[in-house]
Structure 1
Amino acid sequence: MEKLKILFAVVLSLGTASATSLGVVHTEGGSVQGQNIRLGLFRSVDVFKGIPFAAKPGTLEKPKPHPGWDGILKATKFAQRCLQISMLQTSTFGSEDCLYLNIWVPHGRHVSSNLPAMIWFYGGGFMVGGSMGPNFLNNYLYSGQEIADQGNVIVVSVGYRVGTLGFLSTGDSGLPGNYGLWDQHSAIAWVHRNIHSFGGDPNNITLFGESAGGASVSYQTLTPHNKGLFKRAISQSGVAFCPWALSRNPHKVTLEVAEKVGCPIDDRMVACLKSTDAATLAMAAPKIKQGSPDSPAVKNLLLSPVVDGDFLPDQPSNLFHNSADIDYLAGVNDMDGHLFTSKDIPSFNDENQETPIEDVKRLLAAYTKENGQAGFEIAFAEYSSNWGPTPSQDTIKRTAVDIGTDSMFLVPTQTSIFLHAAYATSGRTYSYLLSEPSLLARPGKPYHDWVGADHADDLQYVFGKPFTTPKAYGDRHRDLSGYMIAYWTNFARTGNPNEGNMKVPVTWPEFTRTGQQFLNINAKMNESSIEKEMRLRFVRLWTSTLPSLSSYGVTDAE
């Protein structure tokens, strides 16, 4: 009899375990119902896909509130991506009606309440991208399930406009631009107003994103429009200072687009562009040309945010007072530049071909163009200072990667971290470098064996792919993924990556202007993973020495 009672109790508890779900959730637009996925005994996650956070946007206009719906919205299918060019740049796909978000809510024995919420912004150079990311063995790269389940946080992923539809601008009030950033802001505000109904804490929201998504996060901390809407932010391999993340001559690009779609380039241009078919506009984006040493591909990303006097009232460097109360965690991959540099220099990945020093010089000259011949010479002396009389091919190629990594990602990120720490009042600052060797750098793989963490390598670890697709990874990758999820979700919970629900391998110190400490993240971490003054020589080169030279080669530096 006693055994029967126990069995009955177990069966009952199993029944209640599977019933741990939010069910129908009431939002400002109407009711929604997602899907409940069982992950184990007393563990499940509610997934809501395709909830609208704004109405279908007008072409080249700010987003507007969604009118709402009747009945219960079945939130079980991802919405389409925002209309964009295909990877081959020969067609478009996606929809104008794309301002939707997806939500993952984890549950234990009881339905969750008051959980931290993390909002994800995808990368794609402000030109492409989607909130599901590529499909990974039937498992979307940006699925929030693993982060939500392991870290006990709510994960939200968001669609925002890209390319011409997201960032075309005349540089004045005619077409102010930044439509994609307004979409993101609109999603943040929606989450702040509605996340309580999903078991989230509206006063504990963290933004996170990678590449253009990391730069987007950076912009969202700098705009005055988000006051009080979120508490913390994480930028992975992208900040507002990245040279590809701010358009300095938007009007020129808009004139080119207008000519392509047959609009007059006079005072009728804006009205004509706004009435042009959206797919035609998307197709008219400037082509991303194949890079070369003289014209690195990343310099062809011509559609990006602008200083518009509204979303960004001033240059990013003058807006850090707006982020004074926001906890900020930012970093880069140690070879973020590899993906780009290896394509800019044709001989780079060919084992049978040598990369000429001349190509590295041409690449550096392209990145230091504004600093004139004197700038190039000073920079080349710095980058080749450890070469010796006959540098090896590996040394030459690694230098080329360093040039790309430093100028496009590392130095801008360090600048951002430094300014955040300088202006912070209650906000804390954390800096990292991911140095896990690339999975493509093993024998029989296409990369050189010295390649570290390439651009976008962090994504698989943050989103827990070594757990969801275990055959593709080893134990060290699961360790690393566990560490990153722990640091990221602890930070989202408490503002301190070391404190929260998850154990971490090493205590990560705050970044201060005097100590400049950072965490070197990889699968084998110990006390020596805490380092300081990340590539300080090169940070100084790009932020102080080079800008102090005028382009005429006249130097003001000592």
Structure 2
Amino acid sequence: MVRISIPQGILTGGEVKTDSGFEYYEFLGVPYAKPPIGELRFKIPQPPETWEDERDAATAKKNNVATQFDIKTCNIIGSEDCLYLNVYTPKSLLDNTLPVMVYIHGGSFSSGNGIIKSEIGPDYLVENNVVLVTINYRLGIFGFLSLDIPEVAGNMGLKDIVKALEWVNINIGYFNGDSNNVTVFGNDAGAACIEYLLWSTTTKQLFHKAILQSGSILNSWSLNRKPMELLQMLLKNLNYEGDINKKREIYDYLMSLSTKELILANTKAFPDEDSKKLSFGFVPIIENNYNNNESFLTGDPIKMIKEGKFNRIPLIKGFCSKEASLRNMLGNNSVKDLSETKMFNEYVPNNFNDEKCNDIIRKVYFDNDLEHDYEKAIDFLSDLDFISGIWISAKLMAKFGVPLHVYEFSYVGDINMSQIFKLNVNGAGHCDDRSYIFSSQINKLVGFNESDKIMIQIMTEFWTNFAKYSKPLSTSDLSISWPLFSEESPAYLSINKKLEIKFDYETEKMTIFQDIFKK
């Protein structure tokens, strides 16, 4: 047991030893805000409460993950009382101030958590002498509903993340962390959240570097431009009979419903205009400014990135080679359908989905090669859903001199989630890189080979050295120096069994998406 006193009260944490013998302290399920329950449902997060007795932080409660529908068990799990985080700090260096890494989990803004250690274990990272913080934030309807009124303005989940970063800024020194050297990192929706944080004036002093894995605000699934249409869909699922224009009556109605009723309605509230486009329902929106100092995002993020209105800090941005494995994971038949129909225009934005577009994409991706239809469909949907947005975002940021490193992760090992769950992709699937950054129960159950161990070492050295020095260095492979990405030299690191520097990712394919983006 180890005790730490912070302004909220005394925490009692645990002492842990990794498989390699490295020792660290852990403080689990620490509240960073007041529980957003009762009258605080849909509201901005409030400062955390204090406690008088010692608080047990040796375990995290599974019920304190954010309320969500678990697709693995088809059950509703978690609670609205979910604003908690974990802190891990090396034991051997307790007298030194260490770099801090704050992880923002992915899960399409509707699932995932930051407190269940068996899923996102700290061992690989803390062994490199950093302080690690992993956080929860509100998801789905509770995190991203908007009624376009001050009481439910939207983006509550993003505001939770800001509150967690404020907690880190105030408290991380008690855990031997350096509040002036904070790196945020995340995958999928977590990466998109980080990019949103870059545009916000409220976060400028709260973090100093960022790593964005498999997500960008330029991915169409990361922003809902029609929140009122989604609200109408939700109310229809709830059989609401009131006037849909009377927002405060709707607010009172939603406040009267149970967590379960809202989550079940949430699972059915997805834009049905075209099911072939990747969409996750309740996600970030552009808010109205109510002049109450509570707004997070009031400008168009695409316009802001073009104008350079963002915090220009050192960044790593990257993607996995076969991101479209996510569609297979979600039980989506679109990969198979596209490989058979080759109707690409059904998947792209409506203002670009004519027959001419279809001919261009078919020529670039298939080029009369009819033997690898499935692989070509995977490549196109990977580019459409993830890679093009990440790449174009990198190019736009590079125009403004951002210190930026870009990577493609294509390594296939025994602990790739796409391999474990047999997602039928020939390469690294969506967020497969995460398996080599976080320890987990699945990693231990599956076991990993010597090549996987080397990849864990390479990835964690890149990530933690970036947190320490603003440069992704690896002592495991001294033959490679990861160059900066720039407009003139769009270099990226290909991470596979062999590390390799490449330039200008898939130029002809990315040109198609740049044209789509311009429209």
What TM-score do you get using the length of structure 2 for normalisation?
0.88
Map of 2:333 onto structure 1: 345
Map of 2:292 onto structure 1: none
Q: 1:461 to 1:504 in 2, by over 3 A?
A: farther
Equivalent residues in 2 for 1:301-316, closer than 5 Å: 301-309=280-288, 310-316=295-301
Cα deviation digits, residues 168-191 of structure 1 (max 9, x gap): 113554632111111111001100
Deviation at 1:224, TM superposition (A): 1.4
Map of 2:195 onto structure 1: 218
Q: 1:331 aligns with which of 315, 318, 337?
A: 318
Equivalent residues in 2 for 1:36-435, closer than 5 Å: 36-39=15-18, 43-57=22-36, 58-79=40-61, 80-87=64-71, 91-108=75-92, 110-132=93-115, 140-149=118-127, 151-171=128-148, 173=150, 175-263=152-240, 264=242, 265-267=244-246, 268-287=249-268, 295-296=275-276, 298-299=278-279, 301-309=280-288, 310-320=295-305, 321-340=308-327, 343-345=331-333, 348=336, 357-361=339-343, 363-373=344-354, 374-385=356-367, 387-388=368-369, 391-392=370-371, 395-424=372-401, 427-435=402-410
Amino acid at match of 1:534: Y
Q: Distance in 2 between matches of 1:204 and 1:441?
A: 31
SS in 1 for 2:17: strand
Q: 1:327 to 1:347 in 2, by over 3 A?
A: closer
Q: Distance in 2 between matches of 1:90 and 1:228?
A: 41
Structure 2 spans left out of the alignment, 5+ residues: 289-294
| Counterpart contact for 1:338–1:404, Cα < 8 Å | no
Deviation at 1:462, TM superposition (A): 1.2
| Counterpart contact for 2:335–2:377, Cα < 8 Å | no
Q: 1:446 to 1:509 in 2, by over 3 A?
A: same
Map of 1:530 onto structure 2: 501
Map of 2:461 onto structure 1: 486
Map of 1:12 onto structure 2: none
Q: Distance in 2 between matches of 1:336 and 1:479?
A: 23
Structure 1 spans left out of the alignment, 5+ residues: 1-20, 134-138, 349-354, 550-558
Q: 1:495 aligns with which of 457, 470, 477?
A: 470
Map of 2:291 onto structure 1: none
Pairwise CA RMSD of aligned residues?
A: 3.0
SS in 2 for 1:298: coil
Cα deviation digits, residues 112-138 of structure 1 (max 9, x gap): 4310111111111111111146xxxxx
Deviation at 1:306, TM superposition (A): 0.5
Deviation at 1:414, TM superposition (A): 0.9
Q: 1:240 to 1:125 in 2, by over 3 A?
A: same
Q: Distance in 2 between matches of 1:436 and 1:421?
A: 26
Deviation at 1:495, TM superposition (A): 0.9
Q: 1:548 to 1:74 in 2, by over 3 A?
A: closer
Q: 1:470 to 1:547 in 2, by over 3 A?
A: closer
After superposing the two structures, state which structure 1 stretch, 168-177 or 464-473, moved more: 464-473
SS in 1 for 2:124: helix
Q: Distance in 2 between matches of 1:171 and 1:70?
A: 39
Cα deviation digits, residues 202-259 of structure 1 (max 9, x gap): 0000111111111111111221110111101111101111111101111111122233
Amino acid at match of 1:67: E
Task: Indicate whether 1:543 and 2:514 are aligned.
Answer: yes
Q: Distance in 1 between matches of 2:512 and 2:380?
A: 11
Deviation at 1:464, TM superposition (A): 4.3
Map of 1:509 onto structure 2: 483
| Counterpart contact for 1:430–1:509, Cα < 8 Å | yes
Q: Distance in 2 between matches of 1:466 and 1:520?
A: 28
Q: Percent identity?
A: 24
Q: 1:191 to 1:503 in 2, by over 3 A?
A: farther
Q: Distance in 2 between matches of 1:41 and 1:89?
A: 34
Q: How many residues align?
A: 499
| Counterpart contact for 1:232–1:495, Cα < 8 Å | yes
Amino acid at match of 1:222: W
Q: 1:259 to 1:347 in 2, by over 3 A?
A: closer
Q: Distance in 2 between matches of 1:78 and 1:274?
A: 28
| Counterpart contact for 1:177–1:305, Cα < 8 Å | yes
Q: Distance in 2 between matches of 1:356 and 1:491?
A: 39
| Counterpart contact for 2:327–2:335, Cα < 8 Å | no
What TM-score do you get using the length of structure 1 for normalisation?
0.82
Q: Distance in 2 between matches of 1:308 and 1:444?
A: 40
Q: Distance in 1 between matches of 2:192 and 2:445?
A: 31
Cα deviation digits, residues 355-377 of structure 1 (max 9, x gap): 7854332x552224331313233
Amino acid at match of 1:128: S
Amino acid at match of 2:347: A
After superposing the two structures, state which structure 1 stretch, 205-214 or 365-374, moved more: 365-374
| Counterpart contact for 1:339–1:455, Cα < 8 Å | yes
Q: Distance in 1 between matches of 2:373 and 2:108?
A: 27
SS in 1 for 2:461: helix
Q: 2:495 aligns with which of 521, 524, 527?
A: 521
Deviation at 1:72, TM superposition (A): 1.5
| Counterpart contact for 1:291–1:344, Cα < 8 Å | no
Cα deviation digits, residues 355-411 of structure 1 (max 9, x gap): 7854332x55222433131323322222222x34xx11xx21111011111011101
Q: Distance in 2 between matches of 1:232 and 1:304?
A: 24
Equivalent residues in 2 for 1:4-19, closer than 5 Å: none
Task: Indicate whether 1:32 and 2:11 are aligned.
Answer: yes
